Amino acid sequence: MRVLHSAMLLALVLAAAFGSFMWQSLPLHAQEEPRTAGAQPSTDQDYSDTYRQLDLFGDVFERVRAQYVEEVDDKTLVETAINGMLTSLDPHSSYLDEDKFGDMQVDTRGEFGGLGIEVTMENGVVKVVSPIDDTPAFRAGVQAGDYIVQIDGEPVMGLTLGEAVDKMRGKVGTEIELLISREGAEGPIEMTLVRDVIKIRSVRHRVEGKAGYIRITTFNQNAESGVRDAIQDINEQLGPELTGYVLDLRNNPGGLLNQAIAVADIFLDKGEIVSTRGRHESDTKRDNATPGDMADGLPIVVLINGGSASASEIVAGALQDHRRTILLGTKSFGKGSVQTVIPLPGHGAMRLTTARYYTPSGRSIQAKGIEPDIEVEPAKIESFHIRRIRESDLKGALDNDKKGANDNKDKDENKAKSSTEDGDNTEEEEVQDYQLIRALDLLNGLSLYGGQHADRASETAVEPSAPESTQTQP
């Protein structure tokens, strides 16, 4: 009876969970197919085998509770059993308890109540990597390199980094006291800060020469607005001198599907962006671009590598299929599936793979990845200088400006100075982002070719001048 009771209890729990799943995942446009009178539903099954399997689970559940070497609470057993069921389906389906579900919501929402500092753990205490501009920590004077030794009077020593971060986060408008140790200060510094809404920066940008560099670290809810702001700022800085953009998606693990679609739409004027296809034909959905290209048709080079996954691959694949960009780097990760997060009230949520996505050309990249148009492996750049004899080094060489022999003295002095400078730099070694350098070189080449081609086209398009006897209006 005890085993039967547990099996029935578990059956009710699982039935409730799957009922929630069916409600959450049912497409809005799905309709029930008409049935013939007296016919059995197409989904009719013999559930006797299902009940036998649940009875087996209940038996195992009771044995573990009664005979395992250490006592384990029922909640842990049930949650781990559900998680085991989901993780056995594929690497991306899983169960999220309430804490993990909350953390995931923070990551995808892109904002939380906190102080606004990037931190790491060093020697058992929290070290500030950098304060974020215009946040409570920045306004209070927290500096990079500071050590947080106490939070609300509790020592940080002994806490994990995650536990310390959880203590610093909290409800917007609440106060928190920090005790900070700073190198060069006479003693510990006490600070009282008020938590505020902190937005996670998923997009960073800067100007590289005459090109705009935009890096997306993750596709949270701020990704689209961040890219739009970046393009606007780069345009204001460079104006008509802007030659194109480098969109850096390297090591971007993905994020929200709708944000990937929105970011791709920024650079596309028409056509399909992505299609998602689920278990049933009615689950197929296609997303198309809307009119308007914020880049005004300028060249785009997208950087990808083995860490570019999911939403990153949606953007890269859409731009590549429409020949709107040149992909540069190494093959992407190859995650071509879509996960739906289904809340389970009072029990966290489940992350379930519900569809595969396809690029506009109809290709699935699941377990294949996206091949770059130009493969460029990461490399280390070593700069070196070789002193070579030039025409200007030869004794009595003619001057280019034909000023005469009076400039020979200055020429000799400049030659000696040049030799000294070259000698000083022969041992210099510089490490740079080789893939980014190649992308910028590619943009410069496209700009030069486009400019020369346009000049030649304009020359051939000029109409012949009118005869001298013909008068024209100014």
Going by their DSSP bridges, the two strands 349-358 and 337-343 should be labelled as: antiparallel
Active site residue 335: yes
- Per the DSSP assignment, residues forming a β-bridge with 120 are 127
Token duo for residue 469: 């006897």
- Calculate helix-pair angle for 48-67, 2-25, nearest 10 degrees: 120
Going by their DSSP bridges, the two strands 117-122 and 203-208 should be labelled as: unpaired
- What sign does the CA torsion over 467, 471, 472, 474 have? positive
| Alpha-carbon dihedral 292, 298, 301, 302, rounded to 10 degrees | -10
Active site residue 321: yes
The catalytically annotated residue of 308, 335, 337, 447 is 335
The catalytically annotated residue of 321, 332, 337, 447 is 321
Cβ neighbours of residue 101 closer than 8 Å, sequence gap 6 or more: 341, 343, 348, 349
The catalytically annotated residue of 202, 310, 312, 447 is 310
The catalytic residue positions are 310, 321, 335
